[in-house]
Amino acid sequence: MKFIQSGLCMTAIVALSGCASTTPTVETRSAYSVFDIQAGSDISAARISQAVKEAVQKNMSKANIVYGIPPSPLPEKAPRFQLVSPFKGSSMGALMAATGQNLQIPTCEGAILTVNARDDSMAGYSEGTSFFACVMPYQGGYALNTYTTFTKASGAFSAATLGATLARAVVGDSSQFIPRTIAQVVEAVKQTGAVVSLVQAYP
């Protein structure tokens, strides 16, 4: 039995070397999407915000919700989130740049709802997802923006990470759940009676 188990382990390692590197590696992938929301006068901003909040809560491990005040006057065109570097121009920023790190955080000026959430349910497999969403009103409706980051470790960090690397070759990683979360957020807004359309997305 031990010989068989050893043989299986060797087969797995050979398979891994053929499809993925055992070099310890940390990857972070970012993505965003921008939606336009058209809502009648009977659909309040509070209903739209509530729909977004509840959909995110169903899919994330933890969430931080901030309710804001709409700008006055409202912008004519649909606003869009911006990425900013909190350490730009500082010694910390220079140190991070020297080590190849580029920390950027999304911000939404004039948002009536801002959600910062995280899913750590796959942390034991060296995976983590951050989920940012905001709702910004403008004269023609609302802009719903999402920004996500997915981080995973692979290779020979540890036996657990190596096992997760092997498993991903068969079943994929948990980044596949990000599009599902976004789809559920959009569907929740549609359930209010609003019309939601995709404006822009990457990738």
- Token pair 């470790």 is found at 153
Q: What is the pLDDT of residues 41-63, one digit of tens each?
A: 999 999 999 999 999 999 999 99
- Higher-scoring residue by pLDDT: 123, 84: 84
- Token pair 């929740």 is found at 188
Residue 147 has pLDDT above 90, yes or no: yes
- At 165, the pLDDT band (50, 70, 90 cuts) reads low
Token couple for 177: 């759940």
Residue 87 has pLDDT above 80, yes or no: no
Sheet holding 62-67, edge to edge: 62-67, 113-119, 127-138, 141-154, 25-38, 195-202
The partner residues of 65 in beta bridges, in order of sequence, read 115
What structural domains does the chain harbor? 22-78+108-202 (3.30.160.110)
Rg (CA), the chain: 21
Q: Which amino acid is at 45?
A: A
Q: What are phi and psi of 115, to 5 degrees?
A: -120, 125
